[in-house]
Structure 1
């Protein structure tokens, strides 16, 4: 909060303030003694009534809460954190804050005990701060009342901020905290002219973020290249951007993130994928999660300082996870290492674009589209040294309500030492794969399949056109062909290959295999050259061949 807020709602103290300020004034009109009760002076109409404000805190950024009339408290849009007349409750990313701002120069004494609302949970950290500097703090794990110490006869100036902060410890479960502080103020009355609270956003401190449409993470406490955690500052900047409809700007430099960063319906933009770096320091919880409508991530690099084995493939270990987002965009992002996937698009995400990104050394697939996601375009990306497939569309019978559908994969350059397939569709419908360059992948360059081992859904209406598939199927003993259509269960139907160049296969050219049902597979005007072994191994399916060269 800017100190310019402190005069909102202020009236001449000599007149008294409802039930909020009790006691009398001194004989000297220039000096007063007033008691400000947080519970009696609880405001329901506007911030600043009776000198009290209700906020959430992340890093060094204080952001206003909104009044929740139904529950008679101030709260964030999702319900947490909140501040009521008698209690506070933090959430995972924000502290709950009750703030008082001094009306003038003088001294204050603070009373009022603190205790948990229940004995459950891992406790809270409570603190009293003067202009951000701690006056008192304590970890509270039980329901026994604790009275703050060292908070008597504290000097204040006009506009001094006294914050009562409740912070979660490991998690925010059962962190309902009972705290009704009173402040006895003795000093000058200060200004007697009420002023409206300033609602203007923070000034942009970065030269690259001067446009009013941007919010800089620097203004919320982030500092590049200092090896300190910037997570709280990013959370605060994203929250402010969501409230104002602005874009979060991340200037050049390296920023450290200690946990999963959720971007919900907000655009986050760096200075360039070789200039701005976000480094996740927790290898098990380092994903950047995209949610909501219109969310975007662009022009930056995301890296892990360390990685762990792929193991269960948890999404929390991805580089980027798109969780049910709509109208999303991931553009011009450089991904360097991850414990699992590079970019995971799942939970029914729809109408999204993944374009112009570079992915290096992911633990699992480079780009993975699943969870019934639809109308996704993956284009102009480079994927190198993926720990599994470079780009994959996968649909599971057990977990996906429907197959992924209407996916376009075009103009990508992938492979370059990747450990599994180049571009794969393992369960899915209405997928177009066109104008891609695929080379040096251990398994098939193009793979269209239904797999029993992963219990995947059927494949239907897949078009593969004008791709260059060069030197794939390298690994032994799998000996994949450059192009493979495969079914170990279910049905593969309506797969068409048009005008592809298939060359330098490490073991053979084209295969259609498996014990499942393979119906119509058509090859039109494809060119197969410099293959090793048999040009084709067609052991299943209804194969149609038209004007192909080399087979």
Structure 2
């Protein structure tokens, strides 16, 4: 899709002879004009479209305006890249740098001027010239040797024809500034009336007209249910949403995403977790990353086309990674397969809600909270066949400045063949686990621990209430109980179990043990039934028992 622009062009301006700001001359000859449009001489520091030149960034087929920055004397994106100056362009990691010229009328143009990479460092750039999105010339440049574009003479143009000069990163965007000052020699007439430039697809136009309060990914070139990569369109839509304050809307269908999709401070909404699917095609870089304040993700299904072994558990292979976000929400999302975790909350993320989601067959934990994250509520989720724990809170001594804290885990339904623990707290403070159903996990259904093998922080103030823990600790030879409090280092203290139903333990009911320091563990009004083996194995700690049934 090309961006909408309107050029108010008056015929009277086309007449007259002499030098002008554009670096060329005019010749009135039976209504025809000759004009040279110079990118450097016609460079504007005030507004888009002056002297027919525009300064933009490109993702897929979506062109978005850059903003002029007086200090650097260039048009730039908010984070600094890409940018376009009078003499050069520099792409960004997700967007190409674009200098665009709009034809003022019907005629013929010839393009001149060399292109050269501004630095010998980096892995190269791809420079191209396009007419209305169709490539006329392209070259990959890895050295500072100047290149003269070929095949760009005597090109027919109409009023509103777009000629774009595009610089794209070859691999990464480091050292990619590219020296390029094209001139366009135009021979033709000027349009007598304003020209509407660019058009959207019919689907995109329909989406816009139906709901102007959202940014539809269709408006930026996404097309569901085909084999094309929709990643550039999603990047452009998220960027537009960031600048307008509108949410991104993803209509029903299957969209292919080739890289990590970062959603920074905006809301992305699908048509529903069984209607809108985002398919990550790169098994090593498929995460949807949430950042910023107020970011939200809802109403989608996220799947991996293929997965790879968990390995070192890199976050790039998660389904969703919350990276230092605050006031975030993940709601009504269906996660089907991932190379590592389903939802990873880390880097000090705070004040977030993860609710009403379904996670199935993740490569590692279903939902994992770490990195000193705080004030997180995890509720009404279903987690099945997790590759590790279904829901885990973990705090490391080496990596986390503070322990994860003020975490609420409630009303979740988890297990169903998960390979490790049900709900696990391995280092953390002020945590509530209530009204959950945990069943069919290889290891303990509820696990509260400090582990030396992972060098985790202490555990303090954990409340476990009104949960159903049914037939867990299945795997041999581990023989975990349904509920296990464990310390191989550090301190576990102030853990209270109340009003839980603990039944059908595969090997035993409740265990408290380990060589670390275990202080006060309280069991009040819990019911233990149909257990196999010992009802309790208390080997450490100060155990308080009040009005329990079955032990």
Greater alpha carbon shift after TM alignment, 324-333 vs 2-11: 2-11
In the other structure, the counterpart of 1:325 is 325
CA contact (8 A) 1:20 1:42 kept: no
Matched, 1:528 2:524: no
In the other structure, the counterpart of 2:501 is 501
Separation in 2, partners of 1:11, 1:97: 30
CA contact (8 A) 1:205 1:216 kept: no
The CA deviation at 1:237 is 0.8
Separation in 2, partners of 1:501, 1:27: 92
In the other structure, the counterpart of 2:141 is 140
Separation in 2, partners of 1:278, 1:325: 21
In the other structure, the counterpart of 2:152 is 151
SS of the equivalent of 1:122 reads: coil
Q: How does 1:299-448 map to 2 (within 5 A)?
A: 299-448=299-448
Separation in 2, partners of 1:373, 1:115: 47
In the other structure, the counterpart of 1:76 is 77
1:18/1:417 CA distance change after superposition, 3 Å: farther
CA contact (8 A) 1:362 1:386 kept: yes
1:379/1:9 CA distance change after superposition, 3 Å: farther
Q: Could you state the TM-score of these two structures normalised by the residue count of structure 1?
A: 0.96
In the other structure, the counterpart of 1:107 is 108
1:8/1:306 CA distance change after superposition, 3 Å: farther
Q: How does 1:33-72 map to 2 (within 5 A)?
A: 33-72=34-73
Q: Could you state the TM-score of these two structures normalised by the residue count of structure 2?
A: 0.96
The CA deviation at 1:311 is 0.4
State the Cα deviation string for residues 444-502 of structure 1 (Å, max 9, x = none): 00000000000000000000000000000001111100000000001111000010000
Q: How does 1:146-225 map to 2 (within 5 A)?
A: 146-191=147-192, 205=205, 210-225=210-225
Matched, 1:23 2:24: yes
The CA deviation at 1:210 is 2.2
State the Cα deviation string for residues 190-209 of structure 1 (Å, max 9, x = none): 2477x9999x9x99545598
Separation in 1, partners of 2:331, 2:405: 21
The CA deviation at 1:29 is 6.0
State the Cα deviation string for residues 477-530 of structure 1 (Å, max 9, x = none): 111000000000011110000100000000000011001111111001000000
Separation in 1, partners of 2:268, 2:85: 33
The CA deviation at 1:164 is 0.2
Root mean square deviation, CA, Å: 2.0
1:455/1:538 CA distance change after superposition, 3 Å: same
State the Cα deviation string for residues 261-316 of structure 1 (Å, max 9, x = none): 00011111111111111000110000000001111111110000111110000000
The CA deviation at 1:349 is 0.4
Q: Which runs of 5+ in 1 are unaligned?
A: none
Greater alpha carbon shift after TM alignment, 384-393 vs 170-179: 170-179
CA contact (8 A) 2:266 2:295 kept: yes
State the Cα deviation string for residues 58-80 of structure 1 (Å, max 9, x = none): 11100000111111100110000
SS of the equivalent of 1:243 reads: helix
Separation in 1, partners of 2:493, 2:49: 66
1:156/1:31 CA distance change after superposition, 3 Å: same
Greater alpha carbon shift after TM alignment, 318-327 vs 28-37: 28-37
Separation in 2, partners of 1:329, 1:262: 15
Separation in 1, partners of 2:351, 2:110: 57
CA contact (8 A) 2:19 2:26 kept: no
The CA deviation at 1:13 is 3.7
CA contact (8 A) 2:203 2:218 kept: no
Separation in 2, partners of 1:449, 1:222: 46
SS of the equivalent of 1:224 reads: coil
Separation in 1, partners of 2:19, 2:244: 33
CA contact (8 A) 1:7 1:103 kept: no
Matched, 1:511 2:486: no
Q: Which runs of 5+ in 2 are unaligned?
A: none
Separation in 2, partners of 1:536, 1:10: 92
State the Cα deviation string for residues 96-139 of structure 1 (Å, max 9, x = none): 00001111111111101001001111111111111111111111
CA contact (8 A) 1:206 1:218 kept: no
The CA deviation at 1:55 is 0.2
